[in-house]
A and B are shown apart, each in its own frame.
Chain A
Amino acid sequence: MSDTPESTDQGIPAPEGAADIIETDYEIGQDNFEAQIGPFGLDVHNPVFAISGAVVIAFVFYTLALPEQAGSIFSWLFSFATKTFDWFFLGAANIFVIFCLLLIVTPVGSVRLGGAEATPDYGYAGWFAMLFAAGMGIGLMFFGVLEPVYHMAVSSPLGVPSPFDADGNLIPENVDAAKAMGLAATIFHWGLHPWAIYAVMALALALFSYNKGLPLTVRSAFYPLLGERVWGWWGHIIDILAVFATLFGLATSLGFGAQQVNAGLNHVFGLPIGATMQVLIITFITAIALVSVVRGLDGGVKVLSEINMVLAAALLIFVLLVGPTLMIFSDFASGLWNYLVDLVPLSNPVGREDTDFVQGWTSFYWAWWISWSPFVGMFIARVSRGRTVREFVICVLIIPSLVCVLWMAVFGGVAIDQVLSDPATSQVKANVIDSYNPPLSLFAMLEGLPMSSITSVLAVVLVIVFFVTSSDSGSLVIDTITAGGKVDAPVPQRVFWACFEGAVAIVLLLSAGGLSSLQSMVISTGLPFTLVLLVMCIAIWRGLQAERRL
């Protein structure tokens, strides 16, 4: 890099230092279509914007016009992906974890994202809040109670038997092992593996954008393999697939989230459960998201993520204090220990006998995390400039995993305690084991604690805020990809995507089975993206080696 001209030394936060810029003739935005539609400006990538939009609309219409056919095709695709390729998902996820751990301990960990002398864009608190809220926030609310109890009593991971017999009577000698496995299996699904998946995607995007100077879109990570072809149809397809997975992933989870909020509102305030209510909830969530979208990254998503963290911490501390505190601490320690002990057998991709657990849960989760990785990875990349690779991986892999262990130990631990100490009256047992009612599981657990009317309201608010954050950050990500990596495209475009996402969620919600069939479709995109991520590991390694040689 040449000497800094005298007049530019003000304004830039720090000199950028050495970085290995990839020389390409491609100019960001060169394929963009700029126009003025009515009063609003438009600056979008041609053809990624148009095709993504058209494909999304086509899929929604198809699902509405032929719901049964779509349902059966998508669910076949889903079970084909998760059942036939369970070994592939499990094996690949293990590779991602090992790869990330290697990045921490090898010398390439010292490479800094954004050039040797770049400084972090965000402080630790804001950065962590954002990556955590984008990464799994809402899932913790949905599965924090459900999964530990379910794995303890129903799904028998690694063949560990249930503590209940067929008639629902407790079998005392099974209790300890089942309890340990319930927590360990849940932590397994929310610990190192998902975060390693996100870390690989995010690191690839951040490295190729901040250090190599390529646009902030998914295709850029393929430059080392595809070369200039990445700006053509190969790249278009990769980006369209990423938009597709992100938009449908968000729309379907917005739809399911509306059902959980509805269940919560019904539980707390007795409001009716039904489509009208859920449409109102989606509209409400989208409206708040729009306010945040217009306020931008620092004024919107960052503030929301910090609110999330504070509310989630408040709920966590409350449950920790009013629940059996000592038992929760021992659950945390034993959960972590059992997780580490069972990590290898649980992540073993071949020769498993607990196929229901492996295919129904683990393989499903891995496909799910992977299909979400373009969205979460893009967002994490956007806010991670200035961190070293080592710092990045520790903060994206290790710390969130520990937070998840704590969360599961608290919520799952209390729920398991409620189920085992008083099976006859436990609401959790009624809603998870006796009947399967996921949206209510969290509220059922809170019911067993003091001040449940207050905490349930807090839980509903938290679910809503998590969704607003997802909708906002999702619009940001989709807009960046469909604008060919431009982050300064006109704001109305983000507004468009946020509204579009809400509209898709409403349409799918109103059609019978539309949500679940498209969710199956989205999770199936995990299969091609697993290959994408494996390729990214190679690209990251090569890219980091080149940085090290500077």
Chain B
Amino acid sequence: MFKRIMVPVDLTHADRLAKALNVAGDLAAHYGARLIYVGVTASTPSSIAHTPHEYGEKLAAFAKAQGLAAGVEAESHPVISHDPAVDLDPALVKAVSEVDADLVVMASHIPGLADHFWPSNGGTIASRAAVSVMVVR
């Protein structure tokens, strides 16, 4: 049913993603799909990496480890954004078509008051992406 599953990840908070990562791994194993881990970074140094290049390497290593754990093929797709704090959602929506995904599995927080002002990433992606989106809480 699904061939390419995109998993947006925030490497800074990888520990909070465990549930979504497991779900994505299980789904990929079930459908024999390929996992594509997408990470968005700025061109300035971050807590994860000094340069966009280094970020790409870390994301690739992360994808490889996740793929091995789930027993499926995995790849990574780093995206560079001028202003990730604001451009995260559009960057992820764009990535869906760039990586040719047919399903997005992503973690999201429990909706709260702030979502009326700053909608959650999961909610925005689900409403804008052309493919199925599974938001894991």
Instruction: Name B55-97 residues within 8 Å CB distance of A.
Output: 56-57, 59-61, 63-64, 75-80, 82-88, 95
Q: A10-B77, A11-B79, A297-B82 are in contact. Are A16 and B47 (CB under 8 A)?
A: no
| Residue among B79, B86, B88 making CB contact with A297, cutoff 8 Å | B86
Is B127 located at the chain interface by the 8 A CB criterion? Answer: no
Is there an interface contact between A298 and B82, defined as CB atoms closer than 8 Å? yes
Is A166 located at the chain interface by the 8 A CB criterion? Answer: no
Is B43 located at the chain interface by the 8 A CB criterion? Answer: yes
- Expressed in whole angstroms, the Cα–Cα distance for A462 and B66 within the complex equals 53
Per-residue B-contact encoding for A85-100, CB less than 8 Å = 1, 0 else: 0000000000000000
Is there an interface contact between B45 and A491, defined as CB atoms closer than 8 Å? no
Is B53 located at the chain interface by the 8 A CB criterion? Answer: yes
| Residue among B47, B53, B88 making CB contact with A12, cutoff 8 Å | B53
Q: A11-B56, A216-B45 are in contact. Are A296 and B63 (CB under 8 A)?
A: no
Is A215 located at the chain interface by the 8 A CB criterion? Answer: yes
Per-residue B-contact encoding for A112-136, CB less than 8 Å = 1, 0 else: 0011000001000000000000000
Is B1 located at the chain interface by the 8 A CB criterion? Answer: no
- Expressed in whole angstroms, the Cα–Cα distance for A215 and B49 within the complex equals 10
Q: What is the interface of chain A mostly: helix, strand, loop, or mixed?
A: loop
Is there an interface contact between A1 and B85, defined as CB atoms closer than 8 Å? no
Is A28 located at the chain interface by the 8 A CB criterion? Answer: yes
Is there an interface contact between A7 and B45, defined as CB atoms closer than 8 Å? no
Is there an interface contact between B47 and A491, defined as CB atoms closer than 8 Å? no
Q: A39-B113, A491-B85 are in contact. Are A485 and B43 (CB under 8 A)?
A: no
Nearest-CB distance from B62 to chain A (Å)? 11
Is A276 located at the chain interface by the 8 A CB criterion? Answer: no
Is there an interface contact between B118 and A12, defined as CB atoms closer than 8 Å? no
- Expressed in whole angstroms, the Cα–Cα distance for A7 and B85 within the complex equals 25
Q: Which residue of A lies closest to B40 (CB)?
A: A488
- Expressed in whole angstroms, the Cα–Cα distance for A30 and B46 within the complex equals 11
Of the four ranges (under 10, 10 to 19, 20 to 34, 35 or more), the interface on chain B belongs to 35 or more
- Expressed in whole angstroms, the Cα–Cα distance for A21 and B49 within the complex equals 11
Is A214 located at the chain interface by the 8 A CB criterion? Answer: yes
Is B51 located at the chain interface by the 8 A CB criterion? Answer: yes
Q: Which residue of B lies closest to A297 (CB)?
A: B83
| Residue among B50, B53, B114 making CB contact with A15, cutoff 8 Å | B53
Is B25 located at the chain interface by the 8 A CB criterion? Answer: no
Q: Which residue of A lies closest to B50 (CB)?
A: A213
Is there an interface contact between A40 and B114, defined as CB atoms closer than 8 Å? yes
Is B129 located at the chain interface by the 8 A CB criterion? Answer: no
- Expressed in whole angstroms, the Cα–Cα distance for A8 and B64 within the complex equals 11
Instruction: Name A186-215 residues within 8 Å CB distance of B.
Output: 209-210, 213-215
Is there an interface contact between A485 and B45, defined as CB atoms closer than 8 Å? yes
Nearest-CB distance from B136 to chain A (Å)? 19
Q: A40-B114, A491-B85 are in contact. Are A28 and B52 (CB under 8 A)?
A: no
Is there an interface contact between A298 and B83, defined as CB atoms closer than 8 Å? yes
Q: Which residue of A lies closest to B37 (CB)?
A: A7
Q: A2-B57, A11-B56, A21-B50 are in contact. Are A210 and B113 (CB under 8 A)?
A: no
Is there an interface contact between A7 and B60, defined as CB atoms closer than 8 Å? yes
B contact residues around A115 at 8 Å (CB): 51, 53
Instruction: Name A28-66 residues within 8 Å CB distance of B.
Output: 28-30, 38-40
Nearest-CB distance from A514 to chain B (Å)? 32
Is A139 located at the chain interface by the 8 A CB criterion? Answer: no
Is there an interface contact between A489 and B85, defined as CB atoms closer than 8 Å? yes
Is A351 located at the chain interface by the 8 A CB criterion? Answer: no
Binding site for B on A (CB under 8 A): 1-2, 4-5, 7-8, 10-13, 15-16, 19, 21, 27-30, 38-40, 114-115, 121, 209-210, 213-216, 294-300, 382-383, 385, 485-492, 494
Top 6 closest pairs, chain A to chain B, by CB: A296-B86, A213-B50, A39-B114, A8-B56, A297-B83, A29-B47
With A11-B98, A12-B80, A298-B83 given, name 7 new contacts (CB 8 A). Answer: A2-B57, A11-B80, A16-B51, A39-B113, A209-B45, A294-B86, A485-B44
Q: Can you list 30 pairs linking A and B with CB atoms under 8 Å apart?
A: A4-B56, A8-B76, A10-B98, A11-B77, A11-B79, A11-B80, A12-B56, A16-B51, A16-B52, A16-B53, A27-B47, A28-B47, A29-B46, A114-B43, A115-B53, A121-B82, A209-B45, A210-B45, A213-B51, A215-B44, A215-B45, A296-B83, A296-B85, A297-B83, A297-B86, A299-B87, A300-B86, A385-B44, A488-B42, A492-B118
Binding site for A on B (CB under 8 A): 12, 42-47, 50-54, 56-57, 59-61, 63-64, 75-80, 82-88, 95, 98, 112-115, 117-118
